[in-house]
Amino acid sequence: MSITKQESSATKREAWGRLRKLPSGRWQARYPGPDGKTYSARTEEDKPLTFFTKTDARTWLASVHTKIARGEWEPPKEFAARLHMEAEAAQARSIGFSEYAAKWVELIRTQPNRSGKKRALGTVRSYKSKVDGYLVPEFGDTPVRNIDEARMRKMTDRLDAIPSPLNPRSKFNGITRPVLVVLMMILRQAARDGIIPAAPNVSVPKQEPVRHDADHDEIDDVLAPEQVEALYEAVPTPWAIAVLFAAWCQLRRGECLGLQRRDIEWHADGTATLHVRRQLSANTGDYTDKLKSDAGKRSLSIPAIMIERLRAHLDENVAPEAKAPLVPANARGSVPLSNTRWGYVWADARDAVAGLPPRFRFHDLRHTGLTIFAQEGATLAELMRRGGHSDIRVVLRYQHATMARDRELAERMSKRAAERIAAVKARQDATNEDGSGYL
């Protein structure tokens, strides 16, 4: 392309690069890049750059020439992009805990977990309660990078000093560990995001019993059948059947409240099968077919001890529709009793029955039923199926029942064998004394 006289007079060829005086009176600098392209002066943000004087333009050209000679030059667009990324990284590294924790909560709410499944609403709420109730008040806007082992030890000491809401005498409050677990989850994500080099090397304490002292035996939480009966009689009529479902069908609370008339299958011989297909969500108050695990969907034989009471309950308290709740908010109603309201009903019934273990929970009725089931000789596989367990480690807790039965049988065997040995020896001694020889 030809250059006009005006342009030619304004453009000055330097020893390296070119300078051109613009109509505005400012100076523009251009130079050949090592990639064979010609570049005009640009700012670090990759915007046009001009100079007030010719000397300023020459100085800038000289600096660029030096960078090229040292191998430090980058194309303006790439240089600006790198600076932008570095600035964002620096800003991220200075982010305060409360801001980052809010982003983390949103992340776990929307993104699937390692198994590819979205986290349950109750799980997200539980994590958020730890963030809002304990972590944000502790760290506030402290930069995430400043949360080290020393800061975490201080927080741990403060948490440990909080008395247990369930058992004030307990050495453990059930708070410290879950809060630390959530904090470590946040810090590990911060390490993955490049905000910190690595999460602090802090070991989370193992789960300790809170409701009971360390020497508490789980067998103490198992009721006798007459105590189950007393609880059944203490609960008002429309809802008492839940006690029997928990104890004798070993259902969880949500499973009890999620039952409908269509879940009972009657047979010609008078027996019945219970199909567990859904539960009542404690978070939303709605039915959901997402049970605790895939093993939660199961069919159970309803024991004879509750068959006639179940018939009477269906006739008197449950609406005739197939989807009518078995534990309705009101007799023959179409709305199930809520988890919250059941909590008040249960608390009143428990307080009305003397002799129950301290802090006895509705869930302990399920534990009672599974323990008695184990004592009858159920295998681990049968216990897993009955309880809707997917993890055999959970079911192993009921081994205490089979071990208690094992001890009882061992003692009976030992006693019978000892009596037999003693009887034989007595006969032998008697024979030796009369000289007739051994038997």
Domain ranges of the chain: 5-83, 94-192, 219-359
Residue 85 · residue 194 · CB < 8 Å: no
- Kindly state the helix (H) or strand (E) to which residue 11 belongs, with its residue range: strand 11-13
Residue 220: which pLDDT band, with cuts at 50, 70 and 90? low
Proportion of the chain above pLDDT 90, given as a percent: 55
State the CB neighbour count (10 A cutoff) for residue 105: 19
Relative orientation angle of helices 363-375 and 241-248, to the nearest 10 degrees: 40
Residue 240 · residue 228 · CB < 8 Å: no
- The arithmetic mean of pLDDT across residues 163-182, rounded, is 74
pLDDT at 228 over 90: yes
Burial label, 331 (beta-carbon count in 10 A; 0-12, 13-18, 19+): middle
pTM to 2 decimals? 0.56
Residue 379: which pLDDT band, with cuts at 50, 70 and 90? confident
Alpha-carbon dihedral of residues 211, 213, 217, 222, nearest 10 degrees?
A: -30
SS3 assignment, position 287: strand
Query: Would you state the pLDDT for residue 93?
Result: 65
Relative orientation angle of helices 121-130 and 97-110, to the nearest 10 degrees: 170
**Cα–Cα distance between 233 and 65 in angstroms, integer?**
94
Lowest model confidence (mean pLDDT) among 37-41, 122-126, 275-279: 122-126
pLDDT at 196 over 70: yes
**Cα–Cα distance between 186 and 103 in angstroms, integer?**
10
Query: Would you state the pLDDT for residue 207?
Result: 60
Residue 136: which pLDDT band, with cuts at 50, 70 and 90? very high
Query: Would you state the pLDDT for residue 4?
Result: 45
DSSP string computed for 87-127? HHHHHHHT-BHHHHHHHHHHHHHHSB-TTSPBPPHHHHHHH
- The arithmetic mean of pLDDT across residues 278-299, rounded, is 86
First CA to last CA distance, the chain:
131
Burial label, 34 (beta-carbon count in 10 A; 0-12, 13-18, 19+): exposed
Query: Which one-letter DSSP state was computed for residue 307?
Result: H
pLDDT at 5 over 60: no
Residue 282: which pLDDT band, with cuts at 50, 70 and 90? confident
| CATH T-level fold of 219-359 | hpI Integrase; Chain A (1.10.443)
CA 106 vs CA 125, 129, 134, 232, 414: distances in Å? 11, 13, 18, 43, 62
* DSSP strands (E only) in 194-249: none
Query: Would you state the pLDDT for residue 390?
Result: 80
CATH 1.25.40, applies to 94-192: no
